[in-house]
Amino acid sequence: MKRCIVTFNMMAMAAVCAVAADGGRTVCGMGAEEPTGYVPVMLSNGSLCMTADFLGGVPSEETRKRKYGITRGIFIVGKRFGGPGFRSPHGIQVEAFNFWRFALKVSVDGKRCGAPDRWSQTFDPLVARSITTNVFGNVTRVAETFVAPDEDTVVVRQTFPGTDLARIDAGLNYIIHNSERFYGTWTTLPDGHAFDYTALGLSTYKGRITVRHAREDGAFVTFISFGKPYKGTYAAASARHAAVWGKYYAASEVDVPDADIMRMRRVAEYQLKCCTTKWSIPPGIPPSHWSAGIFAFDEMYAVQGLLSAGHFDEARRASDYRFRTLKTATARTRNTGARWVWISMETNPDDCAKNGFWLEHIFHMSAVARSCRLVASYMDDEEYLRARAYPVIRECARFFRNHCIYDMPDGSSFVCKCTDLERLKSGRERPFMTTCGAIDTLRTAADAAERLGVDAKDASDWRATAERLLKSLPVKDGRFVPAADRPDAVSMGSLAGYFPFPIFPKGHKEQTAAVDFFLARGVKAGNMYEMGKKICPWYAATMAMAALRAGEGEKVLPLIKEAGKSSGVWGEYWEINEPGVAECRPWFMTAAGNCLYAINSMLLMEADGECRIGAGVPKEWKDWSFRLPAESGYEVDFAMKGGVVTKLVLRQQAYNNKRGSGPRSVKVVLPDGSCRTVAVSI
């Protein structure tokens, strides 16, 4: 393997770099060693994703290995290895290309600086930038790095405040490792350099990496573009970046007297936007995060979190993706229902998962149907339901009806053996979570068909089948159990009738008993893998949602805060983060989506025909407010001051300027349990 290093130098000019302080975290250290628990900041626009370290660039080759379960580098969604003979160490057969790294450098009085004497790195999700300060003797370098929102360009700005610039020479090294699958040559341009590469993957990719440098307003600025070179200024790029992220965060508002919850919500929104690609919403983009492989189940948690925060454009990427790939999904069953693979790529041709019992899952068709239903409902868009969501929902219902449900001579029905949650392994009899998902899908399909006035005969059968499946759910000692052949197992799947497939009303006897049983023992099965001794954030948020729907609001906030205890140095969500036991995948989208949904739902949740405000809010909170969308297509603007409701306004959802459902009234349940009937303004 050849090591190709190209250095770009330019005399820099002094400037001061301002850092937003609202919610940002700063990590400090000395030299070039990473402190314990440190992971780089993830910067992404949903197409280009990179890991930014405390030296202002992408971590060096020595540290880019999968420390803490994250592959470090620069990745672009859709650019993949693959083909004959390629095997990924991370399980997915179509691993993302690593476009390697870059490192900043500085010389003082002609002498190259080595490791900094001390450093700090600041990350604030609201500004979506990494700010690093490196001190070399009496010289300080401040570097700001972000990914442009509209194109695959990394922007780096270096300044040297308080230093005689005649002494400074700033530089940047871009390092690429040529190999038999990724190779090319550097050429010199008038304002920088370019690397023309050939990459042998699923197809032969040819492209150009352009490194353009400029001096602007007393700063050394570098634009690293993958594809079309960026031709604008730093000021223009920075303004556009701020505008895009500002608009994103303005979609909703929350103000609660708990700094941890506020930060959890901000970081969750940040992670979700970073992982929202033009195709769908994978758990992550680096190879360690399945190389932007798309899981229908994880996708659902992203959709719920995004919708609950008002991010409709991002959420509908998932339902639009399922509509676009519906033909492929139905072809697998010869047009007798939609069967998506466990992990799919952009075009969904093949399953990307390695062999294992997870391939025997079927509940992810329920996740697809639920995602489509929620997108249409939150947007209050009947045309979207008719044209895109319902065709997918209908085929998911047909899949269960034609392939997974047994109708017995005695009039009963049940779901076939399959893999339920993975800790239960394969071949579970009458699996609880999968059956709840099938019931939810059949009901959803029947509701949509009746609303649209189509498929009346099918709708009647779907609804009747759902009722028969309810009677097949396994019960022991007055509570639902994970599976008929695993009645004593402790599994998060036993919560599924409240979350993620809410088929039961608040206070349902057997489901509430199952929730109480798991909440008392969940630490024994608190991770999706058989490792660790605590509750991972994805599970903790699921437990919070189940408690909320059960009517046990006092348990919700402690469980959400339990999820926050597993966060990393930047507040980022991990798949599992138990130092010394299991440290796995920081910047894990699925946990972020689930936690965001739980936080928003504790403030606003629709269930059983009611709009419940503050159902998970502790009584000691006297001053809090929010502006959030409700599931059935309106926005709620609420405020409480001194324990008294000072604002309660319901507005029709105006997504795409559609009129929506028109005039209506909603039963609102307030934090004290009292009810009001409130008209939705148009």
* CATH code of the domain containing 441: 1.50.10.10
Residues 132 and 400: their CA atoms lie apart, in Å, by: 52
Using alpha carbons, select from 348, 468, 455, 331 the residue that is nearest to residue 408: 468
Task: Say which residue, 205 or 121, is predicted with more confidence.
Answer: 121
Six-digit token string for 154 = 């990394």
Tokens of 508: 């349902």
Q: Judge if 516 and 628 occupy the same domain.
A: no
Residue 631, domain extent: 624-679
Instruction: Tell me: do 364 and 420 sit in the same domain.
Output: yes
294 and 372 together in one domain = yes
Among 249, 267, 291, which residue terminates a domain? 249
> Is the same domain home to 263 and 243?
no
Residue 615 belongs to a domain:
no
Q: pLDDT tens digit string along 210-249?
A: 999 999 988 999 999 999 999 999 999 999 999 999 999 9
If asked whether residues 603 and 675 sit together in one domain, one would say no
With tokens 């508002």, the residue in question is: 253
Same domain, 569 and 502: yes
| 224 shares a domain with 149 | yes
* Residue 580 DSSP symbol: T
What's the rounded mean pLDDT across residues 394-421? 97
Answer whether residue 272 is part of any domain.
yes
Q: List 200's β-bridge partners, or say none.
A: 204
Tell me: the pLDDT tens digits for 317-356? 999 999 999 999 999 999 999 999 999 988 766 667 778 8
- Cα distances from 399 to residues 289, 315, 441, in angstroms, run 29, 24, 10
The answer to whether residue 650 sits within a structural domain is yes
Domain final residue, candidates 548, 579, 608: 608
Q: Is residue 74 part of a domain?
A: yes
Domain termination residue (choose one: 563, 582, 608): 608
CATH number at residue 191: 2.70.98
Q: Is residue 480 part of a domain?
A: yes
Verify that 345 and 472 share a domain, yes or no.
Answer: yes
CA–CA gap between residue 9 and residue 503 (Å, rounded): 62
Split at pLDDT 50, 70, 90, the class of 7 is very low
> The tokens of 224 are what?
């690293």
* Position 540 in a domain: yes
The DSSP secondary structure of 633-670, one letter per residue, reads SEEEEEEEETTEEEEEEEEE--GGG--TT-S-EEEEE-
Q: Are 197 and 284 found together in one domain?
A: no
Residue 27 bridge partners (DSSP): 121
Q: What is the mean pLDDT of residues 598-607?
A: 98
Quote the pLDDT of residue 11.
32
**650-676 confidence digits (pLDDT tens):** 999 877 666 567 789 999 999 999 999
Residue 613 counted as domain residue: no
Residue 89: the pLDDT is 54
Q: Are 658 and 553 in a shared domain?
A: no
Per-residue DSSP letters for 132-165?
EEEEETTEEEEEEEEE-SSSSEEEEEEE-TTS-G
262 shares its domain with 245: no
pLDDT at 18 over 50: no
Fill in the DSSP letter of residue 31.
Answer: T
Both tokens of 267, joined, read 């970081």
Instruction: Kindly state whether residue 437 falls inside one of the protein's structural domains.
Output: yes
Instruction: Domain count for the chain, please give it.
Output: 3
493 and 633 both lie in a single domain:
no
